[in-house]
Chain A
Amino acid sequence: MDGKPTFFDEMIGPEEIYREPYRSYQKWIENEDPAQLRKKSAEAEQFFRRTGITFNVYGQDEADERLIPFDIVPRIISAREWSKLARGIEQRVRAINAFLRDIYHRQEIIRAGRIPIELIAENEAFLPQMIGVSPPGDVYTHIVGVDIVRTGENEFFVLEDNARTPSGVSYMLENRETMLQMFPELFANIPVRNVSDYPNNLRRSLANCAPPSCTGRPVIAVLTPGIHNSAYFEHSFLADQMGAELVEGLDLRVVDGRIAMRTTRGYTPIDVIYRRVDDDYLDPLTFNPDSMLGVPGIMDVYRAGGVTLANSPGTGIADDKAIYSYMPDIVEFYTGERAILQNVPTYRCAEPDSLAYVLDNITELVVKEVHGSGGYGLLVGPAASKREIADFVKKLKAWPGNYIAQPTLALSTVPILTKQGLAPRHVDLRPFVLVSPDNIDITPGGLTRVALKKGSLVVNSSQGGGTKDTWVLEE
């Protein structure tokens, strides 16, 4: 042993032997001319630019639209691997919805002493305005993205549950579209499961959650903060694909107890709003009074059953990083089963013993803000300088309750195409889950994010990550 960490590579196993799911792909890529592949890769970039599949970067004036780099080597998951993942995800999402229903009603889980009351009562993500509110079909999280990492042949961990407004699904769809255009022959020879039903399923799933006030065919709209939002492309893409209206707060108002949109012919009621505006900005009368992005009075209409909001307000209490550490208990409490997918061991810095452990071992841990996201406010111990660690320790000691810590995981790698040929890079996976009253639908695939920098473990697009097409193979 030379002491260097070894990582599980999903394509090429020990002794340079391709792992089973990649065998057919191997036959293909070994016959491809690397120069030709690099050319295709440049074409893909052109395609993304022309289509305008870009994201905006806040606070940068010129060239404020960037591409998320796309790598043309697919990430391939076998049918067997997927079926275990899918069962685990379904179980977890079911538990999350049951937990939300409980936490905003009787709070049995607190009475049973399985999670401490302070965790809820003192949590900003808990919305008292949601107490006693029952969304149609008891669906709280219509759309969930579960972030999964892999460390070995059979070792999958849930890194994070995204139960608010998970993004990235447009990349899942456009990445596949791009691969189909560039390499149609691959799909003729390899049985890859389809992801293109997603927008249709989303539409159906949302329609199934229409409020009692809806009598005819449900009118669905996507609520976006506007063209300057970083995910605007995705908002317009999903509206377009679903055949739904794309609205902003200024297009909406309360009319006769319903939410209505301003059309060329007057105000028309909407039944279901897939909102991509955060809770805080949803209703200036209930939450942030300065918000221009929401609709004054929408929460009253919602509570009275005049409109469905997807996801429901207040779901953040289920994907909070402090709650995360209780997820195995939550799953067990509501499903009566052990969690199929493992949690990453998590130290809650609010607890003195854990804090002491974290401070002693900080160079080996990842420390995260409880409410942070997007790779911000995060310390990766092994990669941080002494100075960075010292600064972070100060913040940590000042407010331990704001942090959790986890061991640095040996994230699996999948090769990307570089100028020098294939080279392994770390990846994670975000499958997308749709919840309706009688069904949980998991699209076979998801968004694979890849850290493009050699050795880097941060896959976020805001931190230089890229994406790959994700293939789930047929049985």
Chain B
Amino acid sequence: MLGKTAGGLYWMFRYLERSENTTRLLDAGFRIALTRASASESEWTSVVETAGVRAGFEKKHDTFDAANVIEYLLRDRSNPSSVLSVVEEARNNARLVRTALTREVWEATNECWMTLKSLLARPVRDRELPSVLSTIRQQSAVVRGALHGTMLRNDNYNFARIGTFVERADNTARILDVKYYLLLPSVSFVGSSLDNVQWETILRSVSANRAYRWLNGGDINPTGISNFLILYRQMPRSLIFCCAKINDNLGYLAEDYGERLSCHDHADRMLGQLRDRSVESIFDFGLHEFLGGFIRDNSALGGLIERDYRFSE
């Protein structure tokens, strides 16, 4: 396959994943702002921070309130990570690699773009937000469903999946990193209801509120949450899950092409570092330092994949 096509698939699915992640962040932020009006400004600030667009936001807006954040993260075309921007980018990449997609995947992507473009044509008011967010999630679920249901499990599929998990790992790490101070043992025994709400927000940001309760019988604490989001192998948004998936899909490529490249060693090393880890050792090392290192490693992995598989000249 063409290097350009591999790159197009990788980025198409990174962007689609990003649109979903932004949607989850907004959902969680909205909920906490509803329930705890006094903390809402700092909550919206951390939403923008997690999305990695704080500098851009501050250039356009003075206050971190619901209207500004929703506008900037959903519709603002000057924000390259707004849902509208990334869905458009996803679709542009889909057009670029159209010959590598099944008709179902292409049509689902095109329909997703058409739907969101008209949905986001006007500013979204507070009370419309939940239904808008749910439409966005549904639309990207259709694309993913079409991918799973119709694509051959060949290199096209592997590059699409690798893009998905590189993006997802980055997102989960950022969510944790922005809130890491809430998870530190020093403040973890305060046990106030405030922390409970904050911790729930973290879980909601990765759509894992109920799963966590199910597994831990309602005992929400920082160690448990950190373990769940970093080291729990069955949790589809945990760092270790993402790394394992990236390893699998890179492994299929190595097998297909009969060639191991530098990205394979790098991905192996990242997985190894998580596999032999306990959450306690992460806290000992420093959660913030650990997450910062992971984010850098993950982004370096993306660069290696691009180079090894010749996405561009």
Evaluate contact between B3 and A262: CB separation under 8 angstroms.
yes
Chain B residues with Cβ under 8 A from A50's Cβ? 107, 110-111, 114
Please tell me which one of the listed residues A51, A248, A250, A263 contacts residue B1 in the complex, with CB atoms under 8 A apart: A263
Mark contacts of B84-122 with chain A using CB atoms, 8 A cut-off: 1 yes-contact digit, 0 otherwise. 000000001001101100010011001100100000000
Nearest chain B CB to A49 CB, angstrom units: 7
Instruction: Judge whether B54 is part of the interface by a CB distance below 8 angstroms.
Output: no
Segment of A36-44, A123-131, A238-246, A455-463 engaged in the interface with chain B: A238-246
Q: Nearest chain-A residue to B4 (Cβ)?
A: A251
A-side interface residues, number (CB < 8 Å): 21
Evaluate contact between B3 and A227: CB separation under 8 angstroms.
no
Chain B residues with Cβ under 8 A from A264's Cβ? 1-3, 6, 155, 253, 257, 309-310
Nearest chain B CB to A193 CB, angstrom units: 25
* A271 and B95 alpha carbons, distance in the complex (Å): 25
Chain B residues with Cβ under 8 A from A266's Cβ? 310
Q: Nearest chain-A residue to B92 (Cβ)?
A: A227
Please tell me which one of the listed residues B2, B95, B114, B257 contacts residue A262 in the complex, with CB atoms under 8 A apart: B2
Evaluate contact between A239 and B99: CB separation under 8 angstroms.
yes
Evaluate contact between A52 and B95: CB separation under 8 angstroms.
yes
Instruction: Judge whether B313 is part of the interface by a CB distance below 8 angstroms.
Output: yes
Chain B residues with Cβ under 8 A from A265's Cβ? 257, 259
Chain B residues with Cβ under 8 A from A246's Cβ? 98-99
Evaluate contact between A245 and B106: CB separation under 8 angstroms.
no
Chain B residues with Cβ under 8 A from A247's Cβ? 2, 4
- Knowing A50-B107, A263-B310, A264-B309 are in contact, say whether A240-B2 is a contact too (CB < 8 A): no
* A248 and B98 alpha carbons, distance in the complex (Å): 14
Interface set, chain A 218-258, CB cutoff 8 A to B:
227, 232, 236, 239-240, 245-248, 250-251
Mark contacts of A77-100 with chain B using CB atoms, 8 A cut-off: 1 yes-contact digit, 0 otherwise. 000000000000000000000000
* A230 and B33 alpha carbons, distance in the complex (Å): 46
Chain B residues with Cβ under 8 A from A232's Cβ? 95
Please classify the interface of chain B as helix (H, G, I), strand (E, B), loop, or mixed, using the class held by over half of its residues. Answer: helix
Instruction: Judge whether A272 is part of the interface by a CB distance below 8 angstroms.
Output: no
Nearest chain A CB to B258 CB, angstrom units: 9
Q: Nearest chain-A residue to B259 (Cβ)?
A: A265
Nearest chain B CB to A260 CB, angstrom units: 11
Chain A residues with Cβ under 8 A from B106's Cβ? 52
Instruction: Judge whether A362 is part of the interface by a CB distance below 8 angstroms.
Output: no
* A263 and B6 alpha carbons, distance in the complex (Å): 9
Evaluate contact between B99 and A262: CB separation under 8 angstroms.
no
Evaluate contact between B3 and A251: CB separation under 8 angstroms.
yes
- Knowing A240-B98, A245-B2 are in contact, say whether A262-B110 is a contact too (CB < 8 A): no
Evaluate contact between A52 and B92: CB separation under 8 angstroms.
no
Mark contacts of A39-66 with chain B using CB atoms, 8 A cut-off: 1 yes-contact digit, 0 otherwise. 0000000000111100000000000000
* A247 and B107 alpha carbons, distance in the complex (Å): 22
Interface set, chain A 352-379, CB cutoff 8 A to B:
none
* A52 and B94 alpha carbons, distance in the complex (Å): 11
Nearest chain A CB to B100 CB, angstrom units: 9
* A41 and B180 alpha carbons, distance in the complex (Å): 57
Nearest chain B CB to A227 CB, angstrom units: 5
Nearest chain A CB to B12 CB, angstrom units: 13
Q: Nearest chain-B residue to A242 (Cβ)?
A: B99
Mark contacts of B151-164 with chain A using CB atoms, 8 A cut-off: 1 yes-contact digit, 0 otherwise. 00001000000000
Instruction: Judge whether A317 is part of the interface by a CB distance below 8 angstroms.
Output: no
- Knowing A50-B107, A52-B110, A264-B257 are in contact, say whether A251-B2 is a contact too (CB < 8 A): yes
* A50 and B6 alpha carbons, distance in the complex (Å): 24
Evaluate contact between A240 and B95: CB separation under 8 angstroms.
no
Instruction: Judge whether A435 is part of the interface by a CB distance below 8 angstroms.
Output: no
Nearest chain B CB to A308 CB, angstrom units: 20
* A264 and B114 alpha carbons, distance in the complex (Å): 31
Interface set, chain B 238-280, CB cutoff 8 A to A:
253, 257, 259
* A275 and B99 alpha carbons, distance in the complex (Å): 16
Mark contacts of A108-145 with chain B using CB atoms, 8 A cut-off: 1 yes-contact digit, 0 otherwise. 00000000000000000000000000000000000000
Chain A residues with Cβ under 8 A from B96's Cβ? 227
Q: Nearest chain-A residue to B94 (Cβ)?
A: A52
Chain B residues with Cβ under 8 A from A163's Cβ? none
Chain A residues with Cβ under 8 A from B2's Cβ? 245, 247, 251, 261-264
9 interchain pairs (CB within 8 A)?
Answer: A51-B110, A52-B106, A250-B4, A262-B3, A263-B310, A264-B3, A264-B155, A264-B253, A264-B309
Residues of A within 8 A of B (CB): 49-52, 227, 232, 236, 239-240, 245-248, 250-251, 261-266
Residues of B within 8 A of A (CB): 1-4, 6, 92, 95-96, 98-99, 103, 106-107, 110-111, 114, 155, 253, 257, 259, 309-310, 312-313
